[in-house]
Structure 1
Amino acid sequence: MIPKFRAWDEETERMWDIDTWHIADEYVDLIEPGKSIADISAESFWRKQSDLILMQSTGLKDKNGVEVFEGDVVKISDGGNEEDSYTSVVKNYADEGYPAFDIEAPSSWYYESNILATIMGGEYETIEVIGNVWEDGDLINDSKGAEEN
């Protein structure tokens, strides 16, 4: 799998796809999400890497085929039952000595190992991207409530 990233630009307060990452020069070429550099109507520009918040794709897709990135707020439903669900934030735990993407679950939900991998590998629970922590900050409160249960 080729790593894929997106970027939150605090100056424009927008999420951008990364077209090219110039690692040695420490800048990235940004483009409108879902657009191609070949599309002359696509808004694009470059920005210093240090001025962005970079997020890596998990390589997974939710129940609707939406790619899951770190920083996404996801809704976990038990067997499709909307009433029996919780929200959580996808995190990359590499800095904490746990080299994996994962989410936190309320204590009333039990998982033997990596929660994200368990849900994606199972057939009972579903995961749906409902936003991200930068554009949909109000969803974080629901996520924090879930983590405290």
Structure 2
Amino acid sequence: MIPKFRAWDKEENRMIDDYEVLISSDGCTYYNHYEGGLRDLGFDVEIMQSTGVKDKNGVEIYEGDILKLRAIFLAPDDKIGYIEYSPKYGYSIIFEGNRLYRQEYWASTNKLNYEVIGNIYENPELLEGHEK
């Protein structure tokens, strides 16, 4: 699998899809496709990697995405959480109270029904009561 990235441009307050990360001998330099060419964005971005998993609608799930999750064991209510990566647990859904649901469970079972409903940068209001 070729890693996929996107980035939140802090200066322009916008999401940049299909972000490229190029590593040079002097460290990381970040670039993205911009109007037919490459544009150096410097370090004023938040980079998010794809989890390699798609939601029920076929939308790729990235770090920072907000998911609505309906699972039999969480019934009767839908739960809202966001995707976060940690070296210890990998990609996890973080629910209110910092409860963690690791990718090895949510990405491998057919009893779940999860959907990307936004991301933590463009839609923080979706996490009200579930603050990051």
**TM-score range, shorter-chain basis?**
0.7 to 0.9
User: Percent of aligned pairs with the same residue?
Assistant: 32
Give CA deviations for 1:39-69 in whole Å, capped at 9, x if unaligned.
Answer: xxx5765233411100011000000000000
| TM-score after normalising by structure 1 | 0.71
Aligned with 2:48 (options 42, 46, 55): 55
1:123 corresponds to: 110
2:58 is the counterpart of 1:68: no
* 2:106 counterpart SS class: helix
Instruction: Give the root-mean-square deviation of aligned CA atoms.
Output: 2.9
1:28 corresponds to: 30
* Closer/same/farther in 2, CA of residues 48 and 67 from structure 1, 3 Å limit: same
Higher strand share: 2
Greater CA drift, 65-74 or 22-31? 22-31
Write the distance in 2 (CA, Å) between the matches of 1:13 and 1:60.
26
Count matched residues: 128
Write the distance in 1 (CA, Å) between the matches of 2:125 and 2:18.
26
Aligned with 1:141 (options 119, 128, 131): 128
Q: Report if the CA contact (8 A) 1:73-1:87 is conserved.
A: yes
Larger radius of gyration: 1
2:119 corresponds to: 132
| TM-score after normalising by structure 2 | 0.79
* 1:143 counterpart SS class: coil
